[in-house]
A and B are shown apart, each in its own frame.
Chain A
Amino acid sequence: MMRPKAWVGLGLVGFVVLLGIVGPWLAPYGPIDQIEGANLVGPSSAHWLGTDEVNRDVLSRTLSGIRIDLLVVFLAVPVGAAVGVLVGLVTSWWNVTDVITQRVFDVVLAFPTLIFAIALSAFIGPGVWTIALVIVSLEVPVFGRLVRTSVRSVREMPYVEAAQVTGAGSWWVLRRHVLPNSLEPLTVQLAVSMSVAVFIEAAMSFLGIGVQAPHPSLGSLIKDGTTLMYDAPFLALGPLALVLALVLGLLLISQSLSEAHRD
């Protein structure tokens, strides 16, 4: 039976996902439409979240910006997870490849996330695909390490030895025995990584190395809002609430999965 916190988490994430899917159709304006004479207008019935410094409707930009976060959450994280699991499964079965791969993972994980992001954007330029690449690059070692732990413990199990004695190949053993036994911690990590990905997008766009003007993301909208914090404190409220909902929802889901796993 699902725990209440799982329902709350699913509700929050579902709400943001729904807004991201249908929001742009409901938005009163295009995300980069500049409305004549509507310079930093406060929240009103015409502009629920006000307008920004170049006369754009913040609600419309927020609804459009959700999609960037959904892209990094539901595309970049799963891609990173899939690659990490595959690399971890394959390389940790044999000692030589395991040692080499783990040292490479050490190098990647030794970089603080934002330093890594800044370095990468210096090479390939800022943008949404840079955010995605940063997230994929950071998730590969995380999931690779996690699946390695399972591989190293499962491969010593008697049923694995029995399968190998009966002539089962390494690939079959990995697929049939190791991977299924690793799934539960992987799902918990997936939810945690998704919430971290929202932070990474927000942080990169906040620093100006993520989504570039005039296109919106929740992170860049928060950045725009803080730039005008004294004159228009309302600008950042909507995007902040959505980032909060997405991160909180994903963390609640991961907690519930973790607790269910322990039970």
Chain B
Amino acid sequence: MTAVTPPRPFARLRLLAIAVALCLMSACTSAVGEQNDRGSTGDPVDGGTLRVAAKTDLIPKSVFGQSSDGGNALIGLVYDSLVEYPHDSLEPRPALATSWKVAPDGRSIHLELRDDVTFHDGKPFTSEDVKFSIQTIADPAWSVQLQRTAAAVTGFDTSDPHAITLKFDRPLSNILDLLDIVPIIDEDTFDQVKAGTGYNGTGAFRFAGWKPNSELTFDRFDDYWGGKPHLDGVDVKIVPDPQAQASGLRSGQYDLLLGTTARDAETFGKDKKYAVLDFEGATQQTYVGFNLDNPDLKDVKLRQAVAYAVDRERILDEVYRGKGIAQNLSWSPSSPAYDEAAAHHYDRDTAKAKDLAAQVGKVPTLPLQYIAGDPTAEAVAQIVQANLADIGITVDLQPVEYAQMYQRLVGADFDGLWIFGHTYAQYTPATLPVSAYPFNAEHNASNFLSDQYAEHADAAWGAPDPDGDVAEDAYAALNADMIDNVWLTDLVTFWPRIVTSSSVHGIDYTKRTELILRDAWKDQ
């Protein structure tokens, strides 16, 4: 007998209502989208100071190490680089270098430099400044993640003040990453940088002052080579509490937030008074790291058990509100190193995790350190703790102040497990295993050393074409190393989200999460 659905009164009316609702929703969505794209609409207005709330303060001795929101703001505003990647691609565009050419053997690069650039103190920019900047980044004292790449530049031809040739002993597949990342600094005033008292760059804004744990201030640089910026200045207030940042934006105290939680960003995105800017190419990762110097974490089976146990999809959905990718490797799908199977090798499998943990035997309580006072890190840590409890591993959560977390990362000094963020997978793939603190094959935060991994990192680094066959083989080998050895396991790849008031326009971000405000302006 065929079941017959009884006719439903008002069915058409209901369909019509749904259609109207969908139209309204799509109109709302477009409105939000317009808010997010507002930078390109309307005529820019000169004047005003942009008030920015940042979560973490400048750490002077790590200012070139992407160590904090305050430090990143300073680098983005005060300094320029030779080339610039847009945040969503690896196609460099001219900045202080107007053109460049890599030698056919890959062992040198020649750059033509702008001849109309001065530092904030009036000194002209020359090729000697490029040499000094790269040599500074190569100095291990500054703990810069690109140090190895900078140190691989072994020769500088500065005979022409407006051109430079950089020479290497071997091809460097990520040389353009270095040129995008290295800020051009001034040798004559470098003592001030060391002391944290002054920063003389060529960027759109001049450093005006720093009150530790309080604020950084910047003034407009009228002689900026790219044209006078619209804003009079920028005040970056240090506001570690995301809730205080959100309240400050709502009350009109701030114009732009550099530390909202994903949930707050989602809430702001529904309100036309605010805009949420997504910088999808400038991806970052949250990961669980393992210090292999801890005897309890030496057995790879235990690390694999953890990798299988964590619920990445839940972390993505509930903590990052779906804005990212849940995967155990760092590469974005657009990266030449991306391998979907490898990226999901450790998709959650509690049975397998339990089995691996059982093979290890009794596991003592493991310390898990995360950033104190960071609601996102705390939520992720608690989910990971619950996931590991499911397979019989007890974890002791230990909140650690941000500056101390950073020190421990650089010094490879975590007690056991830790949750932190990393970056550099958005660059040429060789940059990650050669440069990033958690992945550096020579010295990493996990104290994981492997000749095989170092060899594969080297092969990727020296590949003549980052998209060629040689490089692809090296990337596959690196992915296998990461899967087999699990000295860390990525949880979520996500992109930065900046929340602004709707009166702010023209905001941009570098690929390494530094603010670009040279075209920014505020409604008066």
Contacts and interface: CB of A to CB of B under 8 A. Distances in A.
Q: Do A and B come together as binding partners?
A: yes
A2 to B, nearest CB: 43
Interface residues of B, number: 21
Given A34-B386, A53-B318, A213 B378 contact: yes
Contacts of B382: 34, 54, 213-214
A231 B269 CA distance: 13
A214 B385 contact: yes
Interface stretch (A137-145, A221-229, A252-260): A221-229
A208 B267 CA distance: 25
A93 B424 CA distance: 70
A39 B383 CA distance: 12
B399 A229 contact: no
Interface in B259-301: 263-264, 267
B374 to A, nearest CB: 10
- Decide if the interface of chain B is mainly helix, strand, loop or mixed: helix
Interface string B353-386: 0000000000000000000110100110111011
A230 B267 contact: yes
B396 to A, nearest CB: 9
A97 interface: no
A229 B386 contact: no
B492 interface: no
A181 interface: no
A54 B386 CA distance: 10
A227 B243 contact: yes
Contacts of A231: 263-264, 267
Contacts of B399: 126, 208, 212-213
Nearest to A34: B386
Contacts of A101: none
A130 to B, nearest CB: 13
A211 to B, nearest CB: 12
Contacts of A208: 372-373, 399
B32 interface: no
Residues of A in contact with B, size category: 10 to 19
Contact of A213 (B263, B317, B381): B381
B375 A55 contact: no
B276 to A, nearest CB: 15
A55 B319 CA distance: 11
A205 B304 CA distance: 35
Contacts of A229: 243
B386 A212 contact: no
Interface string A196-219: 000000000000100011100000
B246 interface: yes
A189 B263 CA distance: 44
Contact of A212 (B246, B263, B319, B397): B397
Contacts of B264: 230-231
B385 to A, nearest CB: 6
B313 to A, nearest CB: 12
Given A39-B318, A212-B397, A212-B399, A227 B375 contact: yes
A214 B378 CA distance: 9
A160 interface: no
A32 B372 contact: no
B162 to A, nearest CB: 53
Most chain B beta carbons < 10 A, residue from A55, A208, A214, A229: A214
B243 A55 contact: no
B243 A226 contact: yes
B318 to A, nearest CB: 5
Nearest to B396: A212
A131 to B, nearest CB: 16
A34 B263 CA distance: 19
A70 B479 CA distance: 53
Contact of B397 (A39, A214, A226): A214
Interface string A37-48: 001000000000
Contacts of B379: 53-54
A99 to B, nearest CB: 40
B457 to A, nearest CB: 36
Interface string B299-341: 0000000000000000001110000000000000000000000
Interface in B217-235: none
A34 B397 CA distance: 16
A227 B259 CA distance: 13
A169 to B, nearest CB: 52
B331 to A, nearest CB: 28
A212 to B, nearest CB: 7
Interface in A44-61: 53-55
A219 B96 CA distance: 53
A133 to B, nearest CB: 19
B435 to A, nearest CB: 33
Contacts of B381: 213
Nearest to B372: A208
Nearest to A56: B382
A106 B166 CA distance: 67
B263 to A, nearest CB: 6
Interface string B382-401: 11011000000000010100
Contacts of B318: 39, 53-55
A214 B395 CA distance: 11
Contact of A34 (B243, B246, B383): B383
Interface string A222-252: 0000111111000000000000000000000
Contacts of A34: 382-383, 386
B428 to A, nearest CB: 37
Contacts of B246: 230
A53 B319 CA distance: 8
B417 to A, nearest CB: 15
Instruction: Identify the interface centre among A34, A39, A226: most chain B CB within 10 Å of its CB.
Output: A34
Interface of A: 32, 34, 39, 53-55, 126, 208, 212-214, 226-231
The 10 tightest CB contacts between A and B, nearest first, are A34-B386, A39-B318, A54-B382, A214-B382, A227-B243, A227-B375, A54-B379, A208-B373, A53-B379, A213-B378
13 contacts: A32-B386, A34-B386, A39-B317, A54-B318, A126-B399, A208-B372, A214-B385, A228-B263, A229-B243, A230-B246, A230-B264, A231-B263, A231-B264
Given A208-B372, A231-B264, 17 more contacts: A32-B386, A34-B382, A34-B386, A39-B317, A53-B263, A54-B379, A54-B383, A55-B318, A208-B373, A212-B399, A213-B382, A213-B397, A214-B382, A229-B243, A230-B264, A230-B267, A231-B267
